[in-house]
Structure formats: C-alpha cells, structure tokens
Amino acid sequence: MEALLESDLRNCFGEVEELVLPDLKEVVWSNLDFLGWVHPSGHLGYIATLSPKDGCLRGVVLRRHARPSRRVRLELCSLCHHVHSAGGTAMFTITEAGSRGRRMISNVVCGDLSCSLRVRNLINPSSLMHETMYLEAKVWRILQHLHRWLTRTKHL
C-alpha cells in the first residue's frame, strides 16, 4: 500500500477514543496490503485500509480478545489463512457502524494483525499448513475477507 502520514490516520479514524498510533518510521509500506496494529495493552486493534468503493482511506477500531488456549490446537487466521499453533491468533470484533454497539461481527485473526507480513514469509514461524498459492492470490484473499467484514459492519 502507499505510505500514509500520521495526519492521514488521524483523519480516517476521526473522533475515536484511545487512538494510539504506531511508529510509522518503522513501517515498510510496500510489504503491506492494509495497516493493522494493536493497542499496547492488547484490548484494541486498529485497521486502516483503502476502500475499494471510493479509494478513500478507512480506519476501524476492533475489540481484541486474547483466546485462552487450554490445550494444543491449531488456529487459522480468517484473513490470511496462516495456521498458527495455540496463542497466535486473537478474536477481533467490529461493531456495526450506527448500531450503537448492538450488532457486531467477530473473526479470528493473527493476533498482531500482521497478515501482510505473514503471506510474504517475513515473520517466523511459517504457517503450519503449506499452501502453494501465488502471493498475489494471497493478497487478494486478505483484502476480499477484510473488505467483506468491513462491508457487513457498514464501515466501507
């Protein structure tokens, strides 16, 4: 994705509580399909992505719940399909815009929202399920799932 400025992020999120911005100097934009990061205390996630409808930047705040893992199991990220061992994912919840918290949709996603880096094999360990898919197809899948989620919650 194209590089964003701090002012772009502040504008697209608007008046949300507890907006903690990431250190943009550390971001390698060419490796990202969307910008996602987690609040230092772990209870919120943030996603900034370009809307396929109008090309404008959208910012969405997600509730983040760590998932208790009592036994060994595999966890699949619903955006990038990376398969983690226990503890690599979190449950993220988006509240439908305008519903005042009455309607929300949750998905299990990489706990650090770094799906873009995982499909480029820039984070270890690699997925526990090997896929022979081109990067472009994986990127397309991430954005399809993300945009569907944001459309269903009326954020696109």
Residue 87 is classified by DSSP as: T
Candidate list 32, 38, 44, 115; residue touching Zn ion; CB under 5 A? 115
Contact by Cβ (8 Å): 44, 18: yes
Closest distance of CB 150 from Zn ion, Å: 15
Instruction: Spell 101-111 as b/e; 16+ CB within 10 A means b.
Output: eeeeeebbbbb
Instruction: Determine the interface stretch with Zn ion among 1-9, 20-28, 92-100, 112-120 (rule: CB under 5 A).
Output: 112-120
Distances (CA, A) of 112 to 16, 59, 98: 20, 16, 27
| Binding range to Zn ion, per CB under 5 A, among 12-20, 53-61, 92-100, 105-113 | 105-113
77 binds Zn ion (CB under 5 A): yes
C-beta separation of 19 from 40 below 8 A: no
Which one among 57, 110, 146, 156 touches Zn ion, defined by CB under 5 A? 110
Quote the least distance from Cβ 125 to Zn ion, whole Å: 13
Task: Please choose, from the candidates 65, 67, 68, 85, the residue with its C-alpha nearest in 3D space to the C-alpha of residue 76.
Answer: 85
CA nearest to 2, candidates 79, 61, 55: 55
Residue 119 binds Zn ion (CB under 5 A): no
Minimal distance, residue 45 CB to Zn ion, in Å: 12
Q: If binding is defined by CB under 5 A, does position 79 make contact with Zn ion?
A: yes
Please report, as residue ranges, which positions from 15 to 74 form the binding site for Zn ion (by CB under 5 A).
none
Minimum distance, C-beta of residue 64 to Zn ion, in the bound complex (Å): 13
Q: Under the rule (CB under 5 A), what is the footprint of Zn ion?
A: 77, 79-80, 82, 110, 115
